[in-house]
Amino acid sequence: MALTESAPVGVAGLTRDRLRAMYRDMLLGRLLDQRVLVLNRQGRAPFAISGQGHEGAQVGVGYALRRDYDWIIPYYRDISLVLVMGMEPRDQLLAALAKAGDPNSGARQMPAHYSSRRHNIVTGGSPVATQILHAVGVAQAFKYRGEDRVVVATVGEGGTSEGDWHEGLNWAAIHRLPVIFLVENNGFAISVPQSLQMAVEHVADRAAGYGMPGVSVDGGDVLAVYRAASEAVDRARRGGGPTLLEAACVRLQSHSSDDDQRRYRSAEDLAEMRRHDPLERFRADLESSSILADGEADQIRQECQSLIDEAQAEADQAPAPDPDTALRYVYGEA
C-alpha cells in the first residue's frame, strides 16, 4: 500500500513511532531467525525452523492484540509474533542452545515450541493443528468467565487438512467464541503444494461452511494484516464470534534445517518469491513516506544486531540442564 496517502501523521491509525516499532519488530524477528540458522549450521543448535517471510503476517496480528492480556497459541514459525507478545531474543537463544534457563520448556521441548506463562503464550504440541482445539478451549473459558479477552491460534495451510481444524472451527462458530484462526499460508507443507491440500483457492473460502467470516489478506503487507486482524479482534471482543483470517506469506527458507527446498522448487519460483519479502516492502514504504529517515533502517538493524549479540553471549554462558532433572515434568515432579 502507499503510505504516502496518510503520511506524515501515520497510517492505519498507527502513529509514526508505532510504525517504526513495527518495522523494528519485523527486523528483530528476521535477524534472530537468521542467527538461529547460523547456530544450526555451526552444529550448535540441533534444529531450526524459520519464520522468514512470515513477519508481515505475524507482526500485523500481534499489534492488533493487547499484550499480557490476550492469549496466543502459536505454531513453530511464529518467532516474530512471540517477540511482539513480549518474549526476548535471549529466551529463544536459550531454547536454541538447549539451556536450562529456556523459559519455553527448560530445554525439554524441540526449539520453536514457544511458551510463556507470563505473556499468555501456550505451547503447541508437535502434531500440526492440535493448537486449534486448545485455542477453542481457551476461548470457551473466556466466554464462560465473561472476560473480554481474545485468543489467536496460528497454523499453516497444510495444517487445515487435519480433523482438529474442522472440529475446532465448527465448535467455535456454533458457540461464537472469541478466537481468531490465523492461517499463515506459504503455499507449501514441507514439499506438498497447496493444490494437493485443498480444491479451493483460499483457505478463507471455507469460512462460510463453518458459519464465520473469512478474510484473505496479503501477508506481505503488514498494515493490511493489522487492519484485518484489528477488525477480527474487535468483533471477537464484542461477542461477535470467531474469524478465519488467512495471510498469504512466502517461505523464504526451506521447511526446516532438515530440508532443502531447491529439490522441489524451481529457481524461477524461488527468485519470484524473494520479490515479495515483507520486510523489504515495509522498509521501502516507510522510507518513501519519510516515516523512516535516511539511514534509520541501518541504525535499527545495528541496534537489533547488538541486542541479539548480547543475548547470545548470555545464552552461551548459561548452564545446561542438570541431567538429574531429565524426567521432571515428564512423569511428574521428580
Ligand X SMILES: Cc1ncc(C[n+]2csc(CCOP(=O)(O)OP(=O)(O)O)c2C)c(N)n1
Residues tagged active-site: 251, 255, 264
Chain CA centroid to CA 22, Å = 14
Q: Which is nearer to ligand X, 234 or 260 (CB)?
A: 260
Segment near ligand X (CB under 6 A); pick from 106-114, 184-192, 284-292, 313-321: 184-192
Residues touching ligand X: how many (CB under 6 A)?
Answer: 15
Minimum CB distance to ligand X smaller for 190 or for 208:
190
Task: Tell whether residue 188 is a contact of ligand X (CB under 6 A).
Answer: yes
Helices (H), the chain: 16-41, 55-62, 79-84, 89-96, 130-145, 163-174, 207-210, 222-237, 267-274, 278-288, 296-317
Instruction: Find cell 536459550 and name the residue.
Output: 94
Nearest CB to ligand X, comparing residues 54 and 227: 54
Contact pick of 77, 202, 227, 276 for ligand X (by CB under 6 A): 77
Interactions with ligand X, residue window 221-280 (CB under 6 A): 255
Compare residues 189 and 315 and give the one whose CB is closer to ligand X: 189
214 scored as a contact of ligand X (CB under 6 A): no
Stretch that binds ligand X, among 132-140, 181-189, 229-237, 321-329 (CB under 6 A): 181-189
Using CB under 6 A as the binding rule, whether residue 193 contacts ligand X is answered as no
Under the criterion CB under 6 A, does residue 282 sit at the interface with ligand X?
no
Backbone dihedral region for residue 184 (phi beyond 0: left; psi -120 to 50: alpha; all else: beta): beta
Query: Is 4 a residue that touches ligand X (CB under 6 A)?
Result: no
Residue 195: DSSP 8-state: G
If you write DSSP's letter for every residue of 103-163 in order, what string do you get? TTTTT-SPTT---BTTTTBPPPPSSTTHHHHHHHHHHHHHHHHT----EEEEEETGGGGSH
Stretch that binds ligand X, among 105-113, 132-140, 152-160, 323-331 (CB under 6 A): 152-160
Closest CA to 150 of 26, 73, 65, 264: 65
Instruction: Closer to ligand X by CB, 58 or 116: give it.
Output: 58
Report the candidate in 178, 186, 174, 319 with the shortest Cα–Cα distance to residue 246. 186
C-alpha distances in Å from residue 74, one per residue of 146, 274, 321: 24, 24, 25
Which residues, 100 to 139, sit near ligand X by CB under 6 A?
126-128
Residues that bind ligand X (CB under 6 A): 77, 126-128, 155-159, 184, 186, 188-190, 255
